[in-house]
């Protein structure tokens, strides 16, 4: 016992310094962490985006998705196309955290929109490959730190996070900005000291995603998370559309035949824009995201498809 007390007295200053260093790091990242990436800045702005949508006083369109949606949908082009058809004063908003899928969108919608009773006239969800299926990996750090948090812990643990270690990761991400964003911090640090680290990591991630698609493509997928998402939107006076976003030829993907029936069962519409005649592989920035020119082509085709729907046109007249 005496030896333990002696050792503790010796080590306590070290432990105190370590605790102080960790707290300093946490506070610094909470204060300046959004400078790590534009995506973190965007996530921080989501409450303002939702409030502007709620108080706009105009018919509103909300695009929800990831970086594919960010690059593909150009509000200025869409506004111009709608104006050409006699629809002016339309409020267009976009929420598009990077590398997200249906699990993230479910909790994001619940936390930021449903809780605030913010209901756009049209909710348009952009996706590609299997981003709507339960086959997609959970982003525990983002769910805990950004999209769900401690307030949704009961629902998250019941539906999505069931093993002890992953639950601990979720709790830590919910209370620590540094823990929730350790991947971003690592990328920034490695990117600063290792040449071409960020671009190489993107290439590897794309290769893994492509292999994953090949191994599962064409198989019917479970859609429990999508079904839960659709139930959240039921009872609201809004249209819900899911938009299949195009990818380059070498990444072309099939649509699960059962997806249409899942969406239709809950009154949602599928807009298939995987193939647009005027788009070529040269219209992609990095083998995945559309360039500004490609985004303009996509947005014009999207507006044409949307305006074919009388329900959509009605929502713009409200």
The pLDDT assigned to 203 comes to: 47
Mean pLDDT lowest for which of 35-39, 139-143, 205-209? 205-209
The pLDDT assigned to 186 comes to: 55
Domain annotation covers residue 162 = no
Domain annotation covers residue 28 = no
| pLDDT top residue among 59 and 194 | 59
- Residue by residue, DSSP assigns the chain as -HHHHHHHHHHHHHHHHHHHHHHHHHHHHHHHGGGG-HHHHHHHHHHHHHHHHHH--S-EEEEE-SHHHHHH--HHHHHHHHHHTT--S-EEEEE--TT--HHHHHHHIIIIIITTT---SEEEEEE-TTTTSTTSPP-HHHIIIIIS-GGGHHHHHHHT--SHHHHHHHHHHHH-HHHHTHHHHHHHHHHHHSTTHHHHHHHHHHHHHHHHHHHHTTS----HHHHHHHHHHTTSSSEEEEEE----GGG--PPPHHHHHHHHHTT-EEEE-S--TT--GGGBSSSSSBPHHHHHHHHHHHHHHHHT-HHHHHHHH-
Give the CATH number, domain containing residue 209: 3.40.50.1110
The pLDDT assigned to 185 comes to: 56
Render pLDDT for 48-62 as a digit per residue (tens, 0 to 9): 999 999 999 889 999
Domain annotation covers residue 193 = yes
The pLDDT assigned to 187 comes to: 54
Domain annotation covers residue 271 = yes
pLDDT at 290 over 80: yes
Render pLDDT for 306-316 as a digit per residue (tens, 0 to 9): 999 999 999 99
Render pLDDT for 65-97 as a digit per residue (tens, 0 to 9): 999 999 999 999 999 999 999 999 999 999 999
The pLDDT assigned to 237 comes to: 83
Domain span at residue 229 reads 37-135+181-317
Domain annotation covers residue 221 = yes
Domain annotation covers residue 32 = no
The pLDDT assigned to 31 comes to: 57
Structural domains of the chain, count: 1
pLDDT at 201 over 50: no
Domain annotation covers residue 213 = yes
Domain annotation covers residue 148 = no
pLDDT at 225 over 90: yes
The pLDDT assigned to 200 comes to: 46
**Looking at residues 31-39, what average pLDDT do you find?**
65
**Average confidence score pLDDT of the chain:** 84
């Amino acid at each position: 016992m005496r030896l333990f007390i002696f050792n503790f007295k010796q080590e306590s200053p070290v432990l105190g310094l370590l605790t102080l260093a960790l707290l300093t790091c946490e506070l610094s990242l909470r204060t300046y962490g959004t400078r790590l990436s534009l995506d973190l800045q965007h996530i921080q702005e989501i409450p303002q985006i939702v409030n502007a949508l709620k108080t706009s006083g105009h018919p509103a369109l909300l695009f929800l998705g990831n970086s594919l949606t960010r690059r593909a949908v150009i509000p200025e082009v869409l506004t111009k196309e709608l104006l050409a058809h006699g629809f002016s004063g339309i409020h267009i908003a976009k929420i598009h955290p990077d590398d997200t899928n249906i699990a993230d969108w479910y909790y994001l919608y619940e936390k930021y929109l449903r809780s605030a009773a913010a209901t756009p006239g049209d909710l348009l969800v952009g996706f590609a490959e299997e981003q709507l299926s339960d086959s997609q990996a959970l982003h525990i750090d983002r769910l805990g730190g950004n999209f769900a948090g401690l307030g949704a812990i009961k629902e998250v643990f019941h539906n999505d996070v069931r093993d002890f270690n992953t639950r601990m990761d979720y709790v830590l991400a919910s209370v620590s900005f540094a823990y929730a964003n350790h991947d971003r911090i690592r990328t920034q640090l490695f990117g600063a000291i290792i040449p071409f680290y960020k671009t190489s990591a993107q290439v590897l991630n794309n290769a893994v995603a492509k292999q994953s698609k090949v191994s599962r493509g064409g198989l019917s997928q479970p859609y429990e998370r999508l079904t839960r998402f659709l139930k959240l939107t039921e009872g609201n006076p809004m249209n819900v559309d899911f938009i299949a976003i195009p990818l380059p030829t070498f990444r072309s993907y099939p649509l699960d035949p059962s997806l249409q029936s899942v969406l239709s069962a809950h009154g949602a519409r599928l807009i298939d824009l995987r193939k647009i005649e005027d788009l070529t592989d040269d219209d992609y920035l990095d083998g995945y995201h559309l360039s500004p020119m490609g985004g303009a082509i996509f947005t014009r085709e999207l507006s044409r498809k949307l305006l074919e729907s009388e329900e959509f046109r009605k929502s713009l007249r409200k």
